Amino acid sequence: MEFLRVLFCLMLTAGSIQVAFSASKIDVRDCGARGDGKADDTEAFETAVRQGRARRVPVFVPRGTYRLRRPIVLEDQALTGPDAGAWCADADALPVLLPQHRDAPGFILRAGASLQGICIRYAWKQEPESGPPAVRIQGIGVYLSRLKLMYPWDGILADGVSNVGRLNMEHIFIVSPRNIGVRVTGTWDAPTLRNIEVWNAGPVPRPLSRGIGFDLGKNDLIRLSDCFVFAMQTGFLLRDTIPGCRVTGGTWGVLNGCATDFCSVGIAVQGEHTVSISGGTFWNHHQGLIVDGSRARVRLSGVELKSNGAPAVEVRQADQVVLSGCSLLRTMEAHAGPAVHLRGGRTTLQGCHLQSIGDGIVMGAEVLSALVQGNTLQVGGRTVVRPDRTEGIRVAENLEVAFAPPAGAGQEAQKP
């Protein structure tokens, strides 16, 4: 009898726990979602979002495939899939949402919204020439995590109008965005982006003439760490004015441990930006770094920049560019060109290693000032090529070593 009494109590306790757990979330299946990849689950999602907001509990999406024909709008609430069982890039562990509409985002995230543990996948009848973002952000305090975005026109975009301060994004895998992977602009407070990968890896092969991994506009102390871009035209683009955005201005922030591979350009700084870049490897077909802004201030430390058919570093104009402890490599034999091309602005190059099939450093007549000191240079041409004038230019105490590229270095640089 005592055994039966204990068993009955345990059953009651388990039931209470289940009731309490169910009350802590709204399941889209309880609101009518089928998740079979055939039914239209839009109204079920909208019902779940309304109920979740009214009860102030998150919306839960179990594993399955859900078709949606309108944007899902979240504000001051969360929509989430199951807890992570695997890194979302390499395993189908997430519920899949299939937007059917092409005239609006898949999700619209307003102030206090959160989207986690979801895969958003697009199926195009033919290769698109335009389209909406999978996720549009238009409010402060938005949080995104454990997302997989497959084949969108744009991945995740700030709307370019709203204040999206305190934006926090992490652990996101974006597959083959046709236009932009991530756009962040309009952050009047410190946003954070961590472990976000943008891969242009199909399903339709495209040249490197278009596509931006991370598009950064007006941002206050943005922090990017461990972000990666593969096979886009530009990996990281900083620009004052972004087409279609009313917000304008420069970025102030840092990039730590970020990287690009097989892009045309690794990092492009256009306009008035102040950015510090530490660590990371940027291997590109063309320039590793382009700075083109009379008020731009760019500092790199411990970065490797490797290019095939253009200089690893090209400074067109800048208030200040400082490179220290960097590796600047231009070793592909099929293309001529220096490791560093200073066309204008002010540049300090100290404690770096330069390696080039051709010249090491070329300085144009519009360079305002340059200090080249304490570097090792392994070049096939001249160490430094500069105009006749010498005011504002100082080259001293560098060590030139014999040029002997490792076997197959030129071919290796061509590999993705």
Q: Give the length of the chain.
A: 416
pLDDT category of residue 205 using cuts at 50, 70 and 90: low
Three-point CA angle 242, 317, 304, nearest 5°: 85
Buried b (16+ CB within 10 A) or exposed e, 171-192: bbbbbbbbbbbbbbbbbeebbb
- Stronger pLDDT, 124 or 409, i.e. the higher one: 124
Give me Rg for the CA atoms of the chain. Answer: 25
Residue 104 has pLDDT above 90, yes or no: yes
Q: What is the pTM of this model?
A: 0.91
Find, among 248, 259, 278, the residue nearest to 214 by Cα.
259
**Residue 203 to residue 42: CA distance in whole angstroms:** 27
pLDDT value of residue 105? 98
Percent of all residues in the chain with a pLDDT value above 70, rounded to a whole number: 89
> Average pLDDT, whole number, for the chain?
90
Pick the closest to residue 104 from 126, 134, 84 (CA basis): 134
Q: Is-contact 215 180, C-beta < 8 A?
A: yes
For the stretch 110-157, pLDDT in tens is: 999 999 999 999 999 888 899 999 999 999 999 999 999 999 999 999
Q: 271: left (phi > 0), else alpha (psi -120 to 50), else beta?
A: left
Determine the Cα–Cα distance for residues 63 and 36; give it in Å rounded to an integer: 10
Q: Which tokens belong to 321?
A: 């560019």
> pLDDT digits over 295-353, tens only?
999 999 999 999 999 999 999 999 999 999 999 999 898 888 899 999 999 999 999 99
For the chain, residues classed under CATH 2.160.20.10 are: 57-412
CA of 192: how far to CAs of 138, 209, 223, 267, 273, in Å? 16, 29, 5, 18, 17
**Distance between CA 214 and CA 99 in Å, rounded?**
23
- Count the neighbouring beta carbons within 10 Å of the beta carbon of residue 216: 28
335 Cβ contact partners less than 8 Å away, ≥ 6 residues apart: 308, 309, 310
- Residue holding tokens 């206090």? 112
**pLDDT tens digits, 230-282:** 999 999 999 999 999 999 999 999 999 999 999 999 999 999 999 999 999 99
- Cα distances from 174 to residues 139, 183, 302, 328, in angstroms, run 22, 13, 27, 29
Query: Tokens 């949606």 identify what position?
Result: 68
List Cβ neighbours of 28 (8 Å cut-off, separation of 6 or more).
Answer: 35, 41, 44, 45, 48, 59, 60, 61, 62, 66
User: How far apart (Å, rounded) are the C-alpha atoms in residues 263 and 285?
Assistant: 6
**Level-2 CATH architecture, domain 57-412:** 3 Solenoid (2.160)
232 DSSP assignment: -
pLDDT value of residue 7? 44
